[in-house]
Amino acid sequence: MLRVVKVRLYPNKSQKQAIHKTFGSCRFVYNILLDAKIKAYECGDNLSVYELKKRLVPMKKAIGGEFLKEVDSTALQNSVLKIDVAYKNFFRRVKKEEKAGFPRFKSKHNSYQSYQTSTASIKNAKLYLPKIGTVKAKFHRGEIIGKIKTVTISYEANQYFASINYEDGSQETIGSNNGKSIGIDVGVKVFAYTSDNQQIKHINLKKEIANVIKAQKILSRRKKGSKNRQKAKLKLAKKHLKLRNKRNDFLHKITKKLSENQTVAVENLMIKHMSKKAKGSIDNPNMRASAKRGLNRSIMQQSWGKFFELLEYKLKRNGGELIKVDPKFTSQKCSCCGHISKENRKSQAKFICTKCHTVLNADYNASVNILNAIGTIVKAS
Protein backbone atom coordinates (compact mmCIF):
# COMPACT_ATOMS: atom_id res chain seq x y z
CA MET A 1 0.00 0.00 0.00
CA LEU A 2 1.26 3.47 -0.89
CA ARG A 3 1.92 5.71 2.09
CA VAL A 4 3.22 9.24 2.50
CA VAL A 5 5.29 10.53 5.42
CA LYS A 6 6.40 14.13 5.83
CA VAL A 7 9.64 14.66 7.75
CA ARG A 8 11.61 17.72 8.78
CA LEU A 9 15.05 18.19 7.21
CA TYR A 10 18.08 19.89 8.78
CA PRO A 11 20.53 20.56 5.92
CA ASN A 12 23.88 22.24 6.52
CA LYS A 13 24.91 25.47 4.77
CA SER A 14 26.27 23.86 1.59
CA GLN A 15 23.28 21.52 1.34
CA LYS A 16 20.90 24.49 1.65
CA GLN A 17 22.66 26.16 -1.27
CA ALA A 18 22.39 22.97 -3.32
CA ILE A 19 18.69 22.58 -2.52
CA HIS A 20 17.93 26.17 -3.52
CA LYS A 21 19.98 25.69 -6.68
CA THR A 22 17.75 22.73 -7.54
CA PHE A 23 14.64 24.84 -6.84
CA GLY A 24 15.92 27.50 -9.24
CA SER A 25 16.91 25.00 -11.94
CA CYS A 26 13.52 23.24 -11.84
CA ARG A 27 11.76 26.60 -11.94
CA PHE A 28 13.91 27.67 -14.91
CA VAL A 29 13.12 24.47 -16.85
CA TYR A 30 9.41 24.69 -16.03
CA ASN A 31 9.10 28.32 -17.19
CA ILE A 32 11.14 27.86 -20.39
CA LEU A 33 9.23 24.76 -21.50
CA LEU A 34 5.84 26.15 -20.49
CA ASP A 35 6.59 29.21 -22.64
CA ALA A 36 7.59 26.90 -25.52
CA LYS A 37 4.34 24.94 -25.18
CA ILE A 38 2.24 28.12 -25.18
CA LYS A 39 4.01 29.52 -28.26
CA ALA A 40 3.70 26.19 -30.08
CA TYR A 41 -0.04 26.19 -29.43
CA GLU A 42 -0.33 29.76 -30.78
CA CYS A 43 1.33 28.52 -33.97
CA GLY A 44 -1.14 25.65 -34.29
CA ASP A 45 1.17 22.95 -32.91
CA ASN A 46 1.06 20.86 -29.74
CA LEU A 47 4.13 19.75 -27.80
CA SER A 48 3.64 16.50 -25.92
CA VAL A 49 5.32 15.74 -22.63
CA TYR A 50 7.79 13.46 -24.43
CA GLU A 51 8.76 16.21 -26.89
CA LEU A 52 9.29 18.60 -23.99
CA LYS A 53 11.54 16.06 -22.23
CA LYS A 54 13.69 15.78 -25.37
CA ARG A 55 14.52 19.47 -25.05
CA LEU A 56 16.24 18.97 -21.70
CA VAL A 57 19.47 17.63 -23.21
CA PRO A 58 19.94 20.58 -25.65
CA MET A 59 19.20 22.97 -22.77
CA LYS A 60 22.02 21.42 -20.72
CA LYS A 61 24.45 21.62 -23.66
CA ALA A 62 23.54 25.19 -24.58
CA ILE A 63 25.81 28.09 -23.60
CA GLY A 64 24.74 29.29 -20.17
CA GLY A 65 22.85 26.08 -19.41
CA GLU A 66 25.74 24.22 -17.80
CA PHE A 67 24.26 24.75 -14.34
CA LEU A 68 21.48 22.28 -15.20
CA LYS A 69 24.06 19.47 -15.20
CA GLU A 70 24.87 20.19 -11.55
CA VAL A 71 21.40 19.27 -10.22
CA ASP A 72 19.38 16.05 -10.02
CA SER A 73 18.24 15.06 -13.54
CA THR A 74 15.06 13.35 -12.27
CA ALA A 75 14.02 16.61 -10.59
CA LEU A 76 14.21 18.38 -13.98
CA GLN A 77 12.22 15.60 -15.64
CA ASN A 78 9.53 15.81 -12.96
CA SER A 79 9.27 19.56 -13.63
CA VAL A 80 8.34 18.72 -17.21
CA LEU A 81 5.72 16.25 -15.98
CA LYS A 82 4.21 19.03 -13.85
CA ILE A 83 3.54 21.03 -17.02
CA ASP A 84 1.58 18.11 -18.44
CA VAL A 85 -0.37 17.70 -15.17
CA ALA A 86 -1.13 21.45 -15.07
CA TYR A 87 -2.54 21.33 -18.62
CA LYS A 88 -4.64 18.23 -17.91
CA ASN A 89 -6.10 19.86 -14.80
CA PHE A 90 -6.82 23.02 -16.79
CA PHE A 91 -8.78 21.17 -19.50
CA ARG A 92 -10.59 19.08 -16.86
CA ARG A 93 -11.82 22.25 -15.15
CA VAL A 94 -12.84 23.79 -18.47
CA LYS A 95 -14.83 20.66 -19.33
CA LYS A 96 -16.63 20.79 -15.97
CA GLU A 97 -17.26 24.54 -16.46
CA GLU A 98 -15.29 25.39 -13.34
CA LYS A 99 -12.83 28.24 -12.84
CA ALA A 100 -10.18 27.25 -15.40
CA GLY A 101 -6.91 28.48 -13.92
CA PHE A 102 -4.50 28.41 -16.88
CA PRO A 103 -0.97 27.14 -16.01
CA ARG A 104 1.13 30.00 -14.66
CA PHE A 105 4.86 30.65 -14.61
CA LYS A 106 6.66 29.98 -11.34
CA SER A 107 8.19 32.81 -9.33
CA LYS A 108 11.30 32.77 -7.15
CA HIS A 109 9.55 35.18 -4.78
CA ASN A 110 6.99 32.61 -3.62
CA SER A 111 7.43 31.70 0.04
CA TYR A 112 6.87 28.02 -0.86
CA GLN A 113 9.37 26.27 -3.15
CA SER A 114 9.59 22.57 -3.99
CA TYR A 115 10.98 19.93 -6.33
CA GLN A 116 10.42 16.20 -6.72
CA THR A 117 13.07 13.51 -7.09
CA SER A 118 12.70 9.82 -7.95
CA THR A 119 16.13 8.56 -6.85
CA ALA A 120 16.30 9.47 -3.14
CA SER A 121 16.96 6.87 -0.47
CA ILE A 122 17.41 6.47 3.29
CA LYS A 123 20.91 5.75 4.60
CA ASN A 124 21.83 5.49 8.28
CA ALA A 125 18.67 7.30 9.47
CA LYS A 126 19.41 10.14 7.03
CA LEU A 127 17.84 11.07 3.70
CA TYR A 128 20.16 10.77 0.71
CA LEU A 129 19.39 13.25 -2.08
CA PRO A 130 21.19 13.03 -5.46
CA LYS A 131 23.78 15.81 -6.04
CA ILE A 132 23.21 17.01 -2.45
CA GLY A 133 24.26 14.14 -0.19
CA THR A 134 22.91 12.73 3.07
CA VAL A 135 20.73 15.24 4.87
CA LYS A 136 19.85 15.01 8.54
CA ALA A 137 16.16 14.19 8.96
CA LYS A 138 13.77 13.66 11.85
CA PHE A 139 11.85 10.42 11.28
CA HIS A 140 9.36 10.94 14.11
CA ARG A 141 7.13 8.03 13.01
CA GLY A 142 9.82 5.39 13.15
CA GLU A 143 11.74 3.67 10.39
CA ILE A 144 10.39 3.76 6.85
CA ILE A 145 10.30 0.20 5.52
CA GLY A 146 9.53 -0.30 1.85
CA LYS A 147 10.39 0.94 -1.61
CA ILE A 148 10.59 4.72 -1.97
CA LYS A 149 8.74 5.96 -5.06
CA THR A 150 9.20 9.73 -4.97
CA VAL A 151 10.43 12.34 -2.51
CA THR A 152 9.23 15.96 -2.64
CA ILE A 153 11.62 18.45 -1.08
CA SER A 154 9.95 21.67 0.01
CA TYR A 155 10.95 24.95 1.64
CA GLU A 156 8.57 27.14 3.61
CA ALA A 157 8.99 29.72 6.35
CA ASN A 158 12.74 29.08 6.50
CA GLN A 159 12.14 25.35 7.13
CA TYR A 160 12.90 22.32 4.97
CA PHE A 161 10.68 19.26 4.59
CA ALA A 162 10.59 15.99 2.66
CA SER A 163 7.35 14.22 1.72
CA ILE A 164 8.31 10.58 1.16
CA ASN A 165 5.95 8.49 -0.97
CA TYR A 166 6.74 4.80 -0.48
CA GLU A 167 5.28 1.33 -0.94
CA ASP A 168 5.20 -0.49 2.41
CA GLY A 169 4.29 -3.88 0.93
CA SER A 170 1.17 -4.34 3.08
CA GLN A 171 -2.34 -5.20 1.95
CA GLU A 172 -4.89 -2.49 1.11
CA THR A 173 -6.81 -3.05 4.36
CA ILE A 174 -4.31 -2.88 7.20
CA GLY A 175 -6.39 -1.45 10.03
CA SER A 176 -9.38 -2.58 12.03
CA ASN A 177 -12.82 -1.20 12.78
CA ASN A 178 -15.46 -1.71 15.45
CA GLY A 179 -18.32 -2.61 13.07
CA LYS A 180 -20.34 0.48 14.08
CA SER A 181 -22.08 2.98 11.80
CA ILE A 182 -22.37 6.62 12.83
CA GLY A 183 -23.63 9.86 11.34
CA ILE A 184 -21.78 13.16 11.67
CA ASP A 185 -23.26 16.65 11.37
CA VAL A 186 -20.66 19.41 10.93
CA GLY A 187 -21.38 22.97 11.95
CA VAL A 188 -19.99 26.41 12.65
CA LYS A 189 -20.74 26.81 16.38
CA VAL A 190 -19.74 23.19 17.11
CA PHE A 191 -17.26 21.51 14.79
CA ALA A 192 -19.18 18.20 14.66
CA TYR A 193 -21.90 16.23 16.43
CA THR A 194 -22.17 12.45 16.14
CA SER A 195 -25.20 10.16 16.25
CA ASP A 196 -23.62 8.73 19.42
CA ASN A 197 -24.59 12.04 21.04
CA GLN A 198 -20.96 13.15 21.26
CA GLN A 199 -19.98 16.75 20.69
CA ILE A 200 -16.66 17.61 19.04
CA LYS A 201 -15.70 21.20 19.81
CA HIS A 202 -13.65 23.06 17.24
CA ILE A 203 -10.11 24.08 18.05
CA ASN A 204 -9.49 27.59 19.34
CA LEU A 205 -7.40 29.39 16.71
CA LYS A 206 -8.23 32.98 17.68
CA LYS A 207 -4.69 33.74 18.84
CA GLU A 208 -3.07 32.26 15.71
CA ILE A 209 -5.51 34.04 13.37
CA ALA A 210 -4.93 37.36 15.19
CA ASN A 211 -1.16 36.90 14.81
CA VAL A 212 -1.57 36.28 11.06
CA ILE A 213 -3.70 39.42 10.65
CA LYS A 214 -1.17 41.48 12.61
CA ALA A 215 1.72 40.14 10.49
CA GLN A 216 -0.22 40.92 7.29
CA LYS A 217 -0.75 44.53 8.39
CA ILE A 218 2.97 44.91 9.16
CA LEU A 219 3.88 43.47 5.74
CA SER A 220 1.51 45.88 3.95
CA ARG A 221 3.35 48.85 5.49
CA ARG A 222 6.80 47.73 4.37
CA LYS A 223 8.35 49.20 1.23
CA LYS A 224 8.39 46.81 -1.72
CA GLY A 225 11.85 45.45 -2.48
CA SER A 226 13.27 46.38 0.94
CA LYS A 227 14.98 44.00 3.36
CA ASN A 228 12.43 44.85 6.03
CA ARG A 229 9.69 43.65 3.70
CA GLN A 230 11.54 40.35 3.23
CA LYS A 231 11.79 39.95 7.01
CA ALA A 232 8.08 40.75 7.42
CA LYS A 233 7.19 38.28 4.66
CA LEU A 234 9.16 35.53 6.40
CA LYS A 235 7.44 36.26 9.73
CA LEU A 236 4.03 36.10 8.03
CA ALA A 237 4.92 32.75 6.44
CA LYS A 238 5.88 31.39 9.87
CA LYS A 239 2.56 32.54 11.35
CA HIS A 240 0.64 30.90 8.50
CA LEU A 241 2.62 27.68 8.94
CA LYS A 242 1.92 27.57 12.68
CA LEU A 243 -1.80 28.15 12.08
CA ARG A 244 -1.98 25.40 9.45
CA ASN A 245 0.01 22.93 11.56
CA LYS A 246 -2.26 23.44 14.57
CA ARG A 247 -5.40 22.97 12.45
CA ASN A 248 -3.99 19.87 10.70
CA ASP A 249 -2.97 18.34 14.04
CA PHE A 250 -6.54 18.75 15.30
CA LEU A 251 -8.06 17.26 12.13
CA HIS A 252 -5.69 14.27 12.12
CA LYS A 253 -6.45 13.42 15.76
CA ILE A 254 -10.25 13.49 15.43
CA THR A 255 -10.30 11.67 12.06
CA LYS A 256 -8.08 8.93 13.48
CA LYS A 257 -10.61 8.37 16.27
CA LEU A 258 -13.65 8.50 13.98
CA SER A 259 -12.04 6.17 11.40
CA GLU A 260 -12.26 3.31 13.94
CA ASN A 261 -15.93 2.95 12.90
CA GLN A 262 -17.04 0.67 10.05
CA THR A 263 -19.22 3.28 8.30
CA VAL A 264 -19.37 7.03 8.69
CA ALA A 265 -22.15 9.06 7.06
CA VAL A 266 -21.77 12.80 6.39
CA GLU A 267 -23.66 15.39 4.39
CA ASN A 268 -22.60 15.92 0.78
CA LEU A 269 -22.00 19.64 1.28
CA MET A 270 -21.27 21.99 -1.63
CA ILE A 271 -18.76 24.06 0.37
CA LYS A 272 -17.84 26.19 -2.63
CA HIS A 273 -21.47 27.26 -3.10
CA MET A 274 -22.04 27.72 0.63
CA SER A 275 -19.16 30.21 0.85
CA LYS A 276 -20.21 32.43 -2.07
CA LYS A 277 -20.67 36.16 -1.61
CA ALA A 278 -24.09 37.57 -0.70
CA LYS A 279 -26.10 38.50 -3.81
CA GLY A 280 -27.92 41.46 -2.24
CA SER A 281 -30.46 43.32 -4.38
CA ILE A 282 -30.47 45.68 -7.35
CA ASP A 283 -31.03 48.71 -5.11
CA ASN A 284 -28.57 47.53 -2.43
CA PRO A 285 -25.88 45.18 -3.86
CA ASN A 286 -24.04 45.09 -0.50
CA MET A 287 -27.09 44.00 1.51
CA ARG A 288 -26.19 41.29 4.05
CA ALA A 289 -22.62 41.31 2.70
CA SER A 290 -21.00 41.82 6.11
CA ALA A 291 -22.94 39.00 7.78
CA LYS A 292 -22.35 36.63 4.87
CA ARG A 293 -18.65 37.49 4.87
CA GLY A 294 -18.44 36.52 8.54
CA LEU A 295 -20.28 33.26 7.87
CA ASN A 296 -18.02 32.44 4.91
CA ARG A 297 -14.96 33.06 7.07
CA SER A 298 -16.30 30.72 9.74
CA ILE A 299 -17.06 28.01 7.16
CA MET A 300 -13.59 28.17 5.64
CA GLN A 301 -11.89 28.12 9.07
CA GLN A 302 -13.60 24.82 9.91
CA SER A 303 -11.79 23.06 7.00
CA TRP A 304 -14.69 20.67 6.31
CA GLY A 305 -13.22 19.68 2.96
CA LYS A 306 -9.92 18.65 4.54
CA PHE A 307 -11.81 16.89 7.33
CA PHE A 308 -13.82 14.76 4.87
CA GLU A 309 -10.68 14.03 2.80
CA LEU A 310 -8.67 12.79 5.80
CA LEU A 311 -11.61 10.81 7.16
CA GLU A 312 -12.21 9.09 3.82
CA TYR A 313 -8.67 7.80 3.31
CA LYS A 314 -8.31 6.71 6.95
CA LEU A 315 -11.60 4.80 6.83
CA LYS A 316 -10.51 3.12 3.62
CA ARG A 317 -7.21 2.16 5.22
CA ASN A 318 -9.11 0.59 8.14
CA GLY A 319 -11.51 -1.29 5.89
CA GLY A 320 -14.35 1.18 6.49
CA GLU A 321 -16.35 3.48 4.26
CA LEU A 322 -17.36 7.14 4.10
CA ILE A 323 -20.86 7.71 2.70
CA LYS A 324 -22.04 11.18 1.65
CA VAL A 325 -25.82 11.63 1.83
CA ASP A 326 -28.21 14.28 0.51
CA PRO A 327 -28.28 17.14 3.07
CA LYS A 328 -31.89 18.01 2.19
CA PHE A 329 -34.14 18.34 5.29
CA THR A 330 -31.58 16.79 7.68
CA SER A 331 -31.96 19.79 10.02
CA GLN A 332 -35.77 20.08 9.66
CA LYS A 333 -36.75 16.41 9.96
CA CYS A 334 -37.64 14.81 13.30
CA SER A 335 -35.49 11.73 13.86
CA CYS A 336 -38.23 10.17 16.02
CA CYS A 337 -41.41 10.52 13.94
CA GLY A 338 -40.05 11.69 10.59
CA HIS A 339 -42.10 14.92 10.50
CA ILE A 340 -40.52 17.63 8.30
CA SER A 341 -41.19 21.31 8.98
CA LYS A 342 -39.28 24.59 9.12
CA GLU A 343 -41.00 25.28 12.42
CA ASN A 344 -39.25 22.28 14.01
CA ARG A 345 -36.05 24.28 14.33
CA LYS A 346 -36.80 27.76 15.53
CA SER A 347 -33.38 28.23 17.14
CA GLN A 348 -29.85 27.22 16.21
CA ALA A 349 -29.35 24.92 19.20
CA LYS A 350 -32.72 23.34 19.96
CA PHE A 351 -35.00 21.08 17.88
CA ILE A 352 -38.66 20.85 18.93
CA CYS A 353 -40.90 18.66 16.78
CA THR A 354 -44.28 20.33 16.15
CA LYS A 355 -45.93 16.93 15.74
CA CYS A 356 -44.60 14.59 18.47
CA HIS A 357 -43.14 17.44 20.62
CA THR A 358 -39.76 15.70 20.96
CA VAL A 359 -37.06 18.06 22.26
CA LEU A 360 -33.49 17.36 21.12
CA ASN A 361 -30.20 19.06 20.47
CA ALA A 362 -30.53 20.28 16.87
CA ASP A 363 -27.11 19.01 15.75
CA TYR A 364 -27.64 15.62 17.40
CA ASN A 365 -31.03 15.27 15.67
CA ALA A 366 -29.40 16.11 12.31
CA SER A 367 -26.62 13.54 12.84
CA VAL A 368 -29.21 10.80 13.47
CA ASN A 369 -31.06 11.80 10.27
CA ILE A 370 -27.77 11.61 8.36
CA LEU A 371 -27.19 8.08 9.69
CA ASN A 372 -30.77 7.05 8.83
CA ALA A 373 -30.27 8.30 5.26
CA ILE A 374 -28.00 5.32 4.51
CA GLY A 375 -30.72 2.83 5.51
CA THR A 376 -29.83 2.29 9.17
CA ILE A 377 -32.96 3.33 11.04
CA VAL A 378 -32.01 4.71 14.43
CA LYS A 379 -34.14 6.81 16.78
CA ALA A 380 -32.61 9.59 18.84
CA SER A 381 -32.42 8.88 22.53
Distance between CA 182 and CA 262 in Å, rounded?
Answer: 8
Q: Among this protein's residues, is 168 annotated catalytic? A: no
Give start and end residues of each alpha helix (H) in 259-288. Answer: 271-274
- CA 79-152-140 angle, 5° bins: 180
Which residue among 72, 208, 267, 312 is the active-site one? 267
Distance between CA 335 and CA 193 in Å, rounded?
Answer: 15
Q: How many helices (H) and strands (E) does the chain have?
A: 10, 14
Q: Any idea what DSSP says for residue 202?
A: P
Bridging pattern class, strands 113-117 and 147-156 = antiparallel
Closest CA to 60 of 68, 70, 51: 68
b/e 196-230 (16+ beta carbons within 10 angstroms → b): eeeebebbebeebeebbeebeebbeeeeeeeeebe
Which residue among 72, 208, 312, 363 is the active-site one? 363
Q: What is the CA radius of gyration of the chain?
A: 25
Bridging pattern class, strands 126-129 and 121-123 = antiparallel
Q: Residue 160: which residues within 8 A CB-CB, separation 6 or more?
A: 8, 9, 10, 11, 16, 19, 153, 154
Sign of CA dihedral 92, 95, 99, 102: positive
Query: Looking at this protein, which amino acid is placed at residue 66?
Result: E
Q: Among this protein's residues, is 185 annotated catalytic? A: yes
Which residue among 72, 185, 208, 312 is the active-site one? 185
| Crossing angle between the packed helical segments 73-95 and 13-42, to the nearest 10 degrees | 50
Distance between CA 321 and CA 311 in Å, rounded?
Answer: 9
The residues that are catalytic are 185, 267, 363
